[in-house]
Amino acid sequence: MPHFSKENIDALAIRYKNNLINSISGYKSANLIGTKSKAGNTNLAVFNSVVHLGSNPALLGFILRPTTVPRHSYQNMKETGVFTINHISKDQIEDAHHTSAKYPENISEFDQTKLEEEYKADCFAPFVKDAPVQIACRYVNDYLIKENDTLLVVGAVEHLFVKDEMLLEDGYVQLDKGDVATVNGIDGYALPQLLARFPYARPKE
């Protein structure tokens, strides 16, 4: 088994190091975050850092890279107070990945891919049509992570849409029933499969 010390990691070629470190946290969520500026320019960007922050109130968060360059998604959600989180199906992964390309603010990623805008629930920001799970969030706050100047952005869940076949009777959303993709690293996409669900764990008697 290869071993990397901190000194080894620091000395690696940048591309190799990025691939290595981006992969070691495990499979991550694959989501498209949709926003729209007050001027009407839509933006769509792929993120692999969306996390559950709490159920009561229902909060989600994601990590935003340093704002030393324009971050159109962040600018729009700060300006309008809303954004959407859309799960990515296996049929959408190529177009979803393309949204990471750096387009000017006035060029919408929707126009550069086959992904389509969808509006509902009086949400100002666009959903991604046919996304297996669509979530409308209200921007709540962001917190600076001083160690690398990234931001933890927090959103409150305002509306939730889930495909019928994915929503089980107990409220569990079985993602593999919707062919929801996941990310390994920053450019590897996979399809996870549910192996088992277990009851709430209690100490053994």
How many angstroms separate the CA atoms of 30 and 43, rounded?
17
- Domain residues for the domain of 119 are 30-184
Residue 195 inside a domain? The answer is: no
CATH number of the CATH domain containing 172: 2.30.110.10
DSSP labels, 54-86: EETTEEEEEEE--TTS--HHHHHHHHHSEEEEE
Report whether pLDDT(70) > 90. Answer: no
Give pLDDT, residue 67: 82
Average pLDDT over residues 110-127: 97
Please enumerate in sequence order all residues whose Cβ is within 8 A of that of 167, keeping only pairs 6 or more positions apart, or say none. Answer: 173
Residue 88 inside a domain? The answer is: yes
* Count of domains observed in the chain: 1
Please enumerate in sequence order all residues whose Cβ is within 8 A of that of 138, keeping only pairs 6 or more positions apart, or say none. Answer: 81, 82, 155, 156, 158
Supply φ then ψ for residue 86, to 5 degrees.
-125, 125
Residue 105 inside a domain? The answer is: yes
Report whether pLDDT(170) > 90. Answer: yes
Residue 204 inside a domain? The answer is: no
Residue 197 inside a domain? The answer is: no
Residue 52 inside a domain? The answer is: yes
Report whether pLDDT(205) > 90. Answer: no
Q: Which H or E run contains 134?
A: strand 133-145
Residue 20 inside a domain? The answer is: no
pTM of the model: 0.95
Q: Could you report the per-residue pLDDT of 22-34, keeping only the tens digit for each? A: 999 999 999 999 9
Q: Could you report the per-residue pLDDT of 192-201, keeping only the tens digit for each? A: 999 999 999 9
